[in-house]
Amino acid sequence: MTEFSSLGLSDSTLKAIAETGYTDATPIQEAAIPVALAGRDVLGIAQTGTGKTAAFTLPMIDRLAAGRAKARMPRALVIAPTRELADQVASSFERYAKYHRLSWALLIGGVSFGDQEAKLDRGVDVLIATPGRLLDHFERGKLLLTGVQMLVVDEADRMLDMGFIPDIERIFKMTPPRRQVLFFSATMPPEITRLTKQFLNDPTRIEASRPATTAETITQYICDLPVSDSKAKRAALRALAERADVKNGIVFCNRKTEVDIVAKSLKTHGFDASPIHGDLDQATRTRTLESFRKGELKLLVASDVAARGLDIPAVSHVFNYDVPHHADDYVHRIGRTGRAGRTGETYMIVTPADSKSLDKVLKLIGQTPQKVDLDLDWASLTDDRGGRSGGRSGSSRSSGGRGGESRAPARSRRPERSEPASEPVVEAEAAQPTPAVAEAVEDKPRRSRTRGRATEAPAAAPAPEAEPEAKPRATARRERPARKAVEAPAEPAPKSSRAERPIRGVKSRDEADDNRNGVRGFGADTPAFLLRPTPTRDD
């Protein structure tokens, strides 16, 4: 181990480091700090929990000790993918720069623009920001990056996962070409490699460990479930949390909605748990993390927004409720425990639907975790939702869920729901129209259907007292307005006198044509298109 005093740091910085309790530098700090102090670009590749934050914070403090900040023109810029990681960098800078007269500002979402703009107007030496909020201030004209001397990109591979690479490229182009770049990433996918070749100037490549490896201080366990069901997974999680000596732990889920469900389930069964994910407001996220850091909260249920950048060295356990879709996320998740030389335990719940994701994880870490058997009655652990919330497991086809037997009865009942309940009554009434209504509906002879055959029926002929069968539905629909018609006078009006018709709401063919041409619109009671008779051959 190398002591910090041999790395070339100033006495003021060494004094602040000593007050934090650290004396020896980690491998990434030992290799990166001297190069950064010399003003050269650094490409650091190291897994999470190896001390990358101090590796760029400490040399930054000493390099900025001489100089003065200008309004809206920071001298150093640190880009972090998440609010939590940016807040951690700000806390680290404040802790190590306590004996230097340096100012800093934190630009993250969920905080008032006005307070952040006030700090920028006064001038800051170090600006720590997430890409989105930084660009928001720039587009408002409240920020200039032409005075940046040092640019730090932390967790670059996480930037790639979150779709921030176009923003990072834009930020690089807004800074001076001769600035110093400290670039850190746990993995080096092709897109990140392209970015470093484009914007870094002959960087010193530093690898503290093989990319995407797990720390040796972490003991990993795996729990195989015979069913793919969300209720069974929640029961397994509770059983694992009970049997393990959990001082404090983080439960990781793949989706934000699952975070809330799991946290609520743990609370219902007596566990001290709270959720944290990107949809929560910043005040709630900050309050929850602070309670977890202080030891007031035992279980933190999180999405991958909390998988990186949380500097909580005393986490004893990590539970993977879902197998991560990306193997790299597994490394970052379990990296929350076993930090700074401490030991930790991790558990991963695996269902039959997780075989592909599990194979990727095992191939990446190059080892097989120890298996844990749970004595649970799996047959009784079924969820009415059929495991819909269990990630991409596809467990909606499990027994008792929507994908099972419940779909067939629902399909067979669908035709019954499409028929109105009052239809038989309407057809019965329509089968016996009054003579006056029959005459008013149509002046000419019309075609009607009875028992499946077309017959000629005079308009004024009275309806028979009874018919063996109700008319078909098409005829009943045409004659349905008869229910709303006003009773006709004893003597029917002559055919040539339309104005004296007493029946309101029933339209002749001429009146229906007027409605169709936009003359009168709908009638008082019944739309004209419902009363339009069946066209005859003479029409």
The DSSP-derived string for 259-293 is HHHHHHHHHHTT--EEEE-TTS-HHHHHHHHHHHH
Looking at residue 386, what is its pLDDT?
42
Radius of gyration of the chain (CA): 37
DSSP secondary structure string, 437-481? HHHHH-SS-EEEEETTEEEEE-TTPPPPS--SSPPPHHHHHHHGG
The pTM (predicted TM-score) of the whole model is: 0.58
Looking at residue 453, what is its pLDDT?
46
Mean predicted lDDT score pLDDT of the chain: 77
Judged against a pLDDT cut of 90, whether residue 431 lies above it is answered with no
CA atoms of 178 and 149, how far apart (whole Å) = 8
- 530: confidence class by pLDDT, cuts 50, 70, 90: low
Question: Which domains does the chain show, CATH number per domain?
Answer: 2-207 (3.40.50.300), 218-397 (3.40.50.300), 423-530 (no CATH)
CA atoms of 130 and 218, how far apart (whole Å) = 30
From the CB of residue 210, how many other CB atoms can be counted at a distance below 10 Å?
A: 10
From the CB of residue 64, how many other CB atoms can be counted at a distance below 10 Å?
A: 19
**Are 44 and 182 spatial neighbours (Cβ–Cβ below 8 Å)?**
yes
The set of long-range contacts for 281-290, using a CB threshold of 8 Å and a minimum separation of 24, is: 281/110, 282/83, 282/108, 282/109, 282/110, 282/111, 283/110, 285/83, 285/84, 285/110, 286/87, 289/84
- The 8-class DSSP code of residue 422 comes to T
- Per-residue pLDDT averaged across 154-180, rounded? 93
Looking at residue 134, what is its pLDDT?
96
Q: Which residue has the higher pLDDT, 209 or 412?
A: 209
Looking at residue 329, what is its pLDDT?
84
pLDDT tens by residue, 54-93 = 999 999 999 999 888 889 999 999 999 988 889 889 999 9
CA atoms of 480 and 65, how far apart (whole Å) = 90
- Per-residue pLDDT averaged across 512-538, rounded? 50
pLDDT tens by residue, 7-49 = 999 999 999 999 988 888 988 999 999 999 999 999 999 876 6
Q: Which residue has the higher pLDDT, 330 or 494?
A: 330
Beta carbons within 8 Å of 41's beta carbon, 6+ residues apart: 180, 181, 182, 183, 200, 201, 202, 203, 204
- 309: confidence class by pLDDT, cuts 50, 70, 90: low
**Are 459 and 433 spatial neighbours (Cβ–Cβ below 8 Å)?**
no
Q: Specify whether the backbone of 72 is left (phi greater than 0), alpha (psi in -120 to 50) or beta.
A: left
pLDDT tens by residue, 222-245 = 999 998 889 999 999 999 999 888
**Are 370 and 345 spatial neighbours (Cβ–Cβ below 8 Å)?**
no
One-letter amino acid identity for 231?
K
448: its two tokens: 């009607």
- 527: confidence class by pLDDT, cuts 50, 70, 90: low
Question: Helix 355-365 and helix 327-334: axis angle, to 10°?
Answer: 60
Judged against a pLDDT cut of 90, whether residue 466 lies above it is answered with no
